[in-house]
């Protein structure tokens, strides 16, 4: 008999959203999850499954039943010949990365952090960068799903292919993802090189940069022309680091947080802060070599609000120049650094922001120095307007103000996903407030 706890408070990583589920479960077996779904059906409750709780929106919140997947975290099978690994969906990628190195394997791409669960990262279309690489879900070979009725379905490109196209970016609304099989590659080292540039240079030579480095991205410092370019590429060289002493001792982080807090009283300082930190930390060249997952991941120390839309890659220049122009003509609108610009190959998943097109992700942030919210509405709305104008689609895990009407226009296969969802979950057991806005 599975036991639920009452009185547990759920909060996402950034502490920007939370909820108080009536019952909080941490099942260790599929039978226990089935029992929870039976109970939810009997009591007419909604169910929300949560992985690492890292989504910077309310997509993982519920006031009904919450299933935390942390105990469903085993590696079930490693197929060395095919270089595939099958895991329970609650495993954190940080644990999986370590486990894979024991077999000489690695995931070909990861997001910025690995304290996220296998079921969770594919749930929201997590991505990183590199135009030869798709979002993380493109590494999924197969998965199993427990539906609202208690049935277990398997899907892959050859078995239930339409379900596979839906379930690889599932938003947590199709059922409980139980297992995921990932395609891996041989373990590899990455060399990261960073160097300064300008927005004009990087936008004028975008194709060169995309071709030159397998995992190319850049950071733009809003209110300035400054850009830091980051190349990450396979290497046979041994581990090494030339990162600055300033970062090593983390003084930069503390100073930045303090100055950002001061700027909440003097918003005009933000442009100077962006300029100062670019000069202090990003004007030199740095190099760093390590195991792939240690280079993909970095330490995100600050809590922040974030938006991250994917626009068609050919709109990158126009959209960024318009964002820059908007900030220049509205000096009262402040934007913290960096605007992180990343790229991903198009795919075929029904609700992937990269569905049927190569994409550029434009990630904007506003920090919360010492937990204080900095006004961001004007920046958020200006950015959203530009992203929409250029055919953007918001990251499912991050802030946006879109509703079903927007998604119907954005996604050629939106209706197909809705039909699959309604077939699998006619009562809407796996919906929450966030998902109601998406589907109704």
Ligand X SMILES: Cc1cc2nc3c(=O)[nH]c(=O)nc-3n(C[C@H](O)[C@H](O)[C@H](O)COP(=O)(O)OP(=O)(O)OC[C@H]3O[C@@H](n4cnc5c(N)ncnc54)[C@H](O)[C@@H]3O)c2cc1C
Instruction: Name the site residues for ligand X (rule: CB under 6 A).
Output: 13-14, 48-56, 59-60, 69, 89, 111-113, 116-117, 119-121, 123-124, 126-128, 171-172, 176-177, 300, 395, 397
Q: CA torsion sign, 110 to 112 to 116 to 120?
A: negative
Phi-psi bin for 290: left (phi > 0), alpha (psi -120 to 50), beta? beta
* 217 versus 223: smaller Cβ distance to ligand X: 217
In the complex, what is the shortest distance from the CB of residue 14 to ligand X, in angstroms, rounded to a whole number?
Answer: 6
Interacting residues of 379 by C-beta distance below 8 A, sequence separation 6+: 333, 334, 335, 364, 366
In the complex, what is the shortest distance from the CB of residue 268 to ligand X, in angstroms, rounded to a whole number?
Answer: 28
In the complex, what is the shortest distance from the CB of residue 61 to ligand X, in angstroms, rounded to a whole number?
Answer: 9
**Which residue has tokens 């198009």?**
346
* 123 versus 312: smaller Cβ distance to ligand X: 123
Phi, psi at 121, each rounded to 5°? -65, -35
* 126 versus 274: smaller Cβ distance to ligand X: 126
In the complex, what is the shortest distance from the CB of residue 407 to ligand X, in angstroms, rounded to a whole number?
Answer: 15
In the complex, what is the shortest distance from the CB of residue 109 to ligand X, in angstroms, rounded to a whole number?
Answer: 10
Contact 124, 55 (CB under 8 A): yes
Provide the edge-to-edge strand list for the sheet that holds 23-25. 4-5, 23-25, 65-68, 47-50
- Alpha-carbon span 210 to 199, nearest angstrom: 15
In the complex, what is the shortest distance from the CB of residue 110 to ligand X, in angstroms, rounded to a whole number?
Answer: 8
Which token pair is 308? Answer: 């991250």
In the complex, what is the shortest distance from the CB of residue 180 to ligand X, in angstroms, rounded to a whole number?
Answer: 8
* 224 versus 414: smaller Cβ distance to ligand X: 414
> What burial letters (b/e) apply to 330-339, b meaning 16+ CB within 10 Å?
eeebbbbbbb
CB-nearest residue to ligand X: 120
In the complex, what is the shortest distance from the CB of residue 395 to ligand X, in angstroms, rounded to a whole number?
Answer: 6
> Which residues share a beta bridge with 237?
none
* 14 versus 320: smaller Cβ distance to ligand X: 14
Which token pair is 276? Answer: 């100062």
CA angle 404, 407, 413 (to 5 degrees): 115
* 120 versus 312: smaller Cβ distance to ligand X: 120
> Which residues share a beta bridge with 179?
88, 144
**Which residue has tokens 């486990």?**
99
In the complex, what is the shortest distance from the CB of residue 421 to ligand X, in angstroms, rounded to a whole number?
Answer: 13
In the complex, what is the shortest distance from the CB of residue 236 to ligand X, in angstroms, rounded to a whole number?
Answer: 26
* 296 versus 411: smaller Cβ distance to ligand X: 296
Q: Strand 286-291 relative to strand 240-241: parallel, antiparallel, unpaired?
A: antiparallel
In the complex, what is the shortest distance from the CB of residue 40 to ligand X, in angstroms, rounded to a whole number?
Answer: 14
* 333 versus 339: smaller Cβ distance to ligand X: 339
Which token pair is 46? Answer: 């909604």
Phi-psi bin for 312: left (phi > 0), alpha (psi -120 to 50), beta? beta
* 127 versus 393: smaller Cβ distance to ligand X: 127
Chain Cα centroid distance, residue 50: 15
* 327 versus 431: smaller Cβ distance to ligand X: 431
Interacting residues of 244 by C-beta distance below 8 A, sequence separation 6+: 281, 284, 286
SS3 category, 171: coil
* 93 versus 320: smaller Cβ distance to ligand X: 93
- Please choose, from the candidates 309, 312, 305, the residue with its C-alpha nearest in 3D space to the C-alpha of residue 361: 309
Contact 344, 135 (CB under 8 A): yes
- Please choose, from the candidates 200, 155, 202, 158, the residue with its C-alpha nearest in 3D space to the C-alpha of residue 180: 155
């Amino acid at each position: 008999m599975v036991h639920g706890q009452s009185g547990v408070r759920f909060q996402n990583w950034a502490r920007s959203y939370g909820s108080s589920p009536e019952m909080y479960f941490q099942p260790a077996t599929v039978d226990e999850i089935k029992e929870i779904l039976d109970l939810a059906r009997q009591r007419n409750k909604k169910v929300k499954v949560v992985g690492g709780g890292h989504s910077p929106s309310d997509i993982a919140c519920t006031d009904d039943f919450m299933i935390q997947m942390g105990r469903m975290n085993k590696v079930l099978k490693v197929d060395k010949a095919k270089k595939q690994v099958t895991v329970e969906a609650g495993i954190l990628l940080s644990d999986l990365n370590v486990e894979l190195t024991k077999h000489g394997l690695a995931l070909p791409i990861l997001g910025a952090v690995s304290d996220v669960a296998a079921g969770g990262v594919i749930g929201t279309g997590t991505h990183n960068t590199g135009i030869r690489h798709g979002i993380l879900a493109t590494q999924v070979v197969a998965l199993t799903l427990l539906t609202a009725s208690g049935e277990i379905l398997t899907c892959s490109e050859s078995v239930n292919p339409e379900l596979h196209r839906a379930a690889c970016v599932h938003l947590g609304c199709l059922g409980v993802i139980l297992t995921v099989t990932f395609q891996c590659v041989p373990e590899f080292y990455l060399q990261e090189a960073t160097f300064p540039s300008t927005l004009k240079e990087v936008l004028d030579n975008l194709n060169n940069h995309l071709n030159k480095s397998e995992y190319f991205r850049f950071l733009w410092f809003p209110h300035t022309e400054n850009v830091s370019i980051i190349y990450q590429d396979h290497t046979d060289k041994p581990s090494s680091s030339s990162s600055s002493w300033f970062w090593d001792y983390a003084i930069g982080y503390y100073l930045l947080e303090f100055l950002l807090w001061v700027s909440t009283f003097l918003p005009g300082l933000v442009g100077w802060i962006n300029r100062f930190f670019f000069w202090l930390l990003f004007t030199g060249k740095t190099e760093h070599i390590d195991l792939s997952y240690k280079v993909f991941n970095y330490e995100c120390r600050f809590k922040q609000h974030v938006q991250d839309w994917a626009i068609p890659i050919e709109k990158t220049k126009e959209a960024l120049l318009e964002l820059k122009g908007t900030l220049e003509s509205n000096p009262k609108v402040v934007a913290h650094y960096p605007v992180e610009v990343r790229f991903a190959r198009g795919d075929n998943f029904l609700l992937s922001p990269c569905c049927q097109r190569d994409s550029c992700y434009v990630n904007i942030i506003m920090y919360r120095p010492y937990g204080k919210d900095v006004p961001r509405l004007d920046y958020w709305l200006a950015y959203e307007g530009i992203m929409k104008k250029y055919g953007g689609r918001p990251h499912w895990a991050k802030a946006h103000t879109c509703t079903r009407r927007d998604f119907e226009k954005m996604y050629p296969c939106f209706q197909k996903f809705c039909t699959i969802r309604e077939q699998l979950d006619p009562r809407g057991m796996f919906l929450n407030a966030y998902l109601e806005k998406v589907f109704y």
